[in-house]
Amino acid sequence: MAVFCGAKGNKFLFTNEYKLVTSWWPKSMKKVFIFQNSDTNFKQVSALKRSFHHDILKPEALKQYLPVMDVLSREHLEREWTPNAVVKVFPLSKKYTFELACRIFLGVVDLEVIKRLVDPFTLANEGVFSVPIDLPGTAYNRAIKGGKVVRQELMKIIKDRRKELMEKNNTERTDLLSKMLIATNENGQFYSEMQISNNIIGLLVASFDTTSSAVTSVLNYIAELPDIYKEVLKEQLEIAKSKGPDELLTWEDIEKMKYSWNVARESLRLMPPAQGSFRETITEFTYAGFTIPKGWKTFWTVHSSHKNPEYFPEPEKFDPSRFEGSGPPPYTFVPFGGGPRMCPGKEYARLQVLVFMHNVVRRFKLEKVIPNEKVVFHGSAKPVHGLPVRLHPHRK
């Protein structure tokens, strides 16, 4: 394994995708989430996933999901936050992001069906980064069992949806699952239910832990820094004043959230949801005097540039102004990766974070219950106690 560091290392790997390196994940991770008897190899899954992801996650497509995000965030806050004096942000943000993913990607709104998916999915997600020893009682063993349950539930949803689409000839559904079921490959054949299941799992994995970690880190800093909260609230109230009380957010409103997005980006710099990504070398090459043989694995890491004082003076200081104007130098701020394999969910995550920020700050001022709560990195950044905050509702 060769670990590439800094902006130069990031640039080298990002710009040599498909030339010198290609996507790679450990077998232990694929065993949890990908069908073992699948008729599709991992590269085919990735190719299918990329084409659909870019189609459904580009800004034009996301505009139609903005009202869904706004409605769900309001419902979630009303149901899970408003009745309580203290809430734990991290587990609740996971609940919100998974429910939203089920609505947008699967077209599933039934909370019972979502619960049947989220419990085993959480087991799988928590154990996938553990030591891969498949013995009863280990986190990895629980992850494999959770993955099997998730696949069974997904296959049932896929079969039922295919039946519904065939019987009703309903091509108006906008969720990703329905689009996949009526799409064909380059040979004019429909994708198999197994292929579709693998790709949906890939999307759920990508949108679950990292997005909820991003939401949590943003709210962590908003709760910790009163001056930052004050400026975010000011911006969001300006947007709210221009709308009716029940009027939903629009794309134009999102574009006005410039300071809020700079706050979110600075949160992602200091507490990035993903720590980097693997690649596999497809041909031998030399970098910085080192020869990397074919078949070796590579890894790029966010912290080697995000916390580098050369790119970010006083790197531990929270300063959203870093992102004003042209922002940081290229390849230094990489929470979503870069190059051809830059995370296709970047815009989806941006919308999700901003919509949630808008609805939270308009309702509450947040106060951290544990001021210096420790954060651990287990796949994503996770507050040890779930980031409990005391809610101070605004007077109406």
Across 211-240, average pLDDT: 96
Cα–Cα distance, 319 to 315 (Å, whole number): 9
Q: Work out the burial of residue 396: count CB atoms within 10 Å of its CB; fewer than 13 is exposed, 13-18 middle, 19 or more buried.
A: exposed
Q: Comparing C-alpha atoms, which of 244, 213, 248 is closest to residue 65?
A: 248
Cβ 394 vs Cβ 373: under 8 Å: no
Q: Is the pLDDT of residue 235 over 70?
A: yes
With pLDDT > 90 as the criterion, what percentage of the chain qualifies? 56
239 pLDDT tier (thresholds 50, 70, 90): very high
Q: Is the pLDDT of residue 262 over 90?
A: yes
- Of 173 and 145, which is predicted with more confidence? 145
93 pLDDT tier (thresholds 50, 70, 90): very high
Instruction: Answer yes or no: is 5 a known binding residue.
Output: no
Across 40-68, average pLDDT: 63
Instruction: State which amino acid sits at residue 365.
Output: K
Q: Is the pLDDT of residue 396 over 70?
A: no
146 pLDDT tier (thresholds 50, 70, 90): very high
Instruction: Tell me the whole-structure pTM to 2 decimals.
Output: 0.89
Across 212-237, average pLDDT: 96
Which residue has 């790119």 as its token pair? 311
Cα–Cα distance, 178 to 164 (Å, whole number): 10
Q: Is the pLDDT of residue 41 over 50?
A: no
Could you give the 3-state DSSP secondary structure of residue 366?
Answer: strand
pLDDT at 92: 95
Q: Is the pLDDT of residue 172 over 70?
A: no
Residues paired with 287 in a beta bridge? 290
pLDDT at 39: 40
What backbone torsions phi and psi does residue 389 show, to the nearest 5 degrees? -130, 145
What backbone torsions phi and psi does residue 3 show, to the nearest 5 degrees? -100, 120
Read off the CATH number of the domain in which 159 is found.
1.10.630.10
User: By mean pLDDT, which of 102-116, 145-159, 172-186 is the weakest?
Assistant: 172-186
- Of 129 and 239, which is predicted with more confidence? 239
Q: Work out the burial of residue 10: count CB atoms within 10 Å of its CB; fewer than 13 is exposed, 13-18 middle, 19 or more buried.
A: buried
Cα–Cα distance, 105 to 102 (Å, whole number): 5
The Cα diameter of the chain in Å comes to 65
Cα–Cα distance, 210 to 276 (Å, whole number): 12
Residues paired with 365 in a beta bridge? 392
The 10s digit of each residue's pLDDT in 286-337 is: 999 999 999 999 999 998 999 999 999 999 999 999 999 888 999 999 988 7
Q: Which domain holds residue 323?
A: 2-33+40-393
Cβ 380 vs Cβ 209: under 8 Å: yes
Cβ 207 vs Cβ 101: under 8 Å: yes
- Of 12 and 60, which is predicted with more confidence? 12
Q: Is the pLDDT of residue 171 over 70?
A: no
Q: Is the pLDDT of residue 181 over 90?
A: no
pLDDT at 229: 97
Q: Comparing C-alpha atoms, which of 250, 173, 211 is closest to residue 94?
A: 211
193-224 helix and 258-270 helix, angle to the nearest 10 degrees: 100
Q: Comparing C-alpha atoms, which of 23, 35, 33, 25 is closest to residue 126?
A: 33
Residues paired with 163 in a beta bridge? none
pLDDT at 383: 93
pLDDT at 169: 67
Q: Sign of the C-alpha dihedral, residues 103, 105, 107, 111? A: negative
- Number of domains forming the structure of the chain: 1
Q: Is the pLDDT of residue 42 over 50?
A: no
User: By mean pLDDT, which of 132-141, 164-173, 252-261, 288-297 is the weakest?
Assistant: 164-173
What does the DSSP assignment read for 243-293? S-TTPPP-HHHHHT-HHHHHHHHHHHHHS-S--EEEEEESS-EEETTEEE-
Cα–Cα distance, 269 to 263 (Å, whole number): 10
Q: Is the pLDDT of residue 87 over 50?
A: yes
Cβ 250 vs Cβ 66: under 8 Å: yes
Q: Is the pLDDT of residue 44 over 70?
A: no
Q: Is the pLDDT of residue 392 over 70?
A: yes
User: By mean pLDDT, which of 137-151, 168-182, 183-197, 381-395 is the weakest?
Assistant: 168-182
